[in-house]
Chain A
Amino acid sequence: MNIESNKAAFSKEPREENLVTMLWDIQRRNGWISKADVRSLAAILNVSPLDIDETLSFYHFFRSKPSGRHQIYLCDSVIARMNGYDQVRAALERETNCCFGGLSADGLFGLEDTPCIGLSDQEPAMMIGDVVFTGLTPEAVSNIVAQLRAGKLPADIANPNGYDSGTLDYVDAMVVSRIRNQGPVFFKPMRDHHAVLQGVLARHPIEIIDEIAASKLRGRGGAGFPTGLKWRLAHEAEGGQKFIICNADEGEPGTFKDRCLLTRSPRDVLIGMVVAGFAVGARSGILYLRAEYWYLKDYLERHIGECREAGLLGDDILGSGFAFDIRIQMGAGAYICGDETALIESCEGKRGTPRVKPPYPIQSGYLGMPTVVNNVETFAIVSRIVEEGGRWYASMGTEKSSGTRLLSVSGDCARPGIYEIEWGMRLDEVLGMVGASRPMAVQVSGPSGECVSAAKDGGRVFCYSDLSCNGSLMIFDESRDLLGIIRHFMSFFVQESCGICTPCRSGCVDMLTKVDRVIGGKATKQDLEDCNAWGHLMRSTSRCGLGTTAAKPILTTMKSFPELYRDRLAVVDGPILASFDLEKALKGHEDAFRNLVKDNY
Chain B
Amino acid sequence: MTAKLYIDGREICASEGDVLIDVAADYGIHIPSLCYMRGRPCLGTCRVCSVVVNGSIMPACTARIADGMVVEVAQPEVADMRRALVEANFSEGNHNCPSCEKSGRCELQAVAYEVEMVVSRFPYRFAERERDQTARHIFLERDRCIFCQRCVEFIRDIDTGHKIFAIHGRGTHARIDIDVVLADRMPPEQVREAADICPVGCIIEKGRGYNDPIGKRKFETRSIRDRVLEGDKK
State how many residues of chain B have any CB contact under 8 Å with chain A.
45
Q: For the complex formed, measure the closest distance between the CB of A595 and the CB atoms of chain B, giving whole angstroms.
A: 15
A52 (CB) vs chain B CBs: closest residue: B166
Say yes or no for B131: interface residue by CB 8 A criterion: no
Say yes or no for A316: interface residue by CB 8 A criterion: no
Say yes or no for B85: interface residue by CB 8 A criterion: yes
Q: Mark each residue of chain A from 532 to 562: 1 if its CB lies under 8 Å from any CB of chain B, else 0.
A: 0010010011110000000000000000000
Say yes or no for A2: interface residue by CB 8 A criterion: no
Chain A residues lying within 8 Å of B182, measured Cβ to Cβ, are 48
Given A502-B46, A503-B88, A507-B88, are A541 and B147 also a contact pair (CB < 8 Å)?
no
Q: Mark each residue of chain B from 157 to 194: 1 if its CB lies under 8 Å from any CB of chain A, else 0.
A: 10010111111111111100111001000000000000
Cα distance A495–B168 when bound, in Å? 14
> In the bound complex, do residue A506 and residue B171 qualify as a contact, i.e. CB atoms below 8 Å apart?
no
Q: Which of B45, B125, B157 has the most CB of A within 10 A?
A: B45
Interface residues of B (CB under 8 A from A): 42-48, 50, 57, 59, 62, 64, 81, 84-85, 88-89, 91-92, 121-123, 125, 146-147, 149, 157, 160, 162-174, 177-179, 182
Chain A residues lying within 8 Å of B157, measured Cβ to Cβ, are 48
Known: A534-B84, A537-B85. 19 other contacts (CB 8 A): A48-B160, A50-B163, A50-B164, A50-B177, A51-B163, A53-B168, A54-B168, A57-B168, A356-B43, A358-B62, A494-B171, A499-B173, A501-B47, A502-B48, A502-B146, A506-B172, A509-B125, A510-B91, A543-B44
Q: Which of B88, B125, B146, B182 has the most CB of A within 10 A?
A: B88
Say yes or no for A19: interface residue by CB 8 A criterion: no
B88 (CB) vs chain A CBs: closest residue: A506
Chain A residues lying within 8 Å of B89, measured Cβ to Cβ, are 502, 506
Chain B residues lying within 8 Å of A53, measured Cβ to Cβ, are 166, 168, 177
A540 (CB) vs chain B CBs: closest residue: B57
Q: Which of B50, B57, B165, B167 has the most CB of A within 10 A?
A: B167
Say yes or no for A470: interface residue by CB 8 A criterion: no
Say yes or no for A313: interface residue by CB 8 A criterion: no
Chain A residues lying within 8 Å of B62, measured Cβ to Cβ, are 356-358
State how many residues of chain A have any CB contact under 8 Å with chain B.
39
14 contacts between A and B (CB under 8 A): A51-B163, A358-B62, A499-B171, A499-B174, A500-B147, A502-B146, A505-B172, A506-B88, A506-B122, A513-B123, A540-B57, A540-B81, A541-B59, A543-B44
Cα distance A462–B35 when bound, in Å? 41
Cα distance A453–B26 when bound, in Å? 51
Q: For the complex formed, measure the closest distance between the CB of A539 and the CB atoms of chain B, giving whole angstroms.
A: 9
Given A50-B177, A510-B122, A541-B50, are A497 and B88 also a contact pair (CB < 8 Å)?
no
Chain B residues lying within 8 Å of A496, measured Cβ to Cβ, are 171
Cα distance A300–B139 when bound, in Å? 49
Chain A residues lying within 8 Å of B160, measured Cβ to Cβ, are 46, 48
Q: For the complex formed, measure the closest distance between the CB of B213 and the CB atoms of chain A, giving whole angstroms.
A: 32
Say yes or no for A508: interface residue by CB 8 A criterion: yes
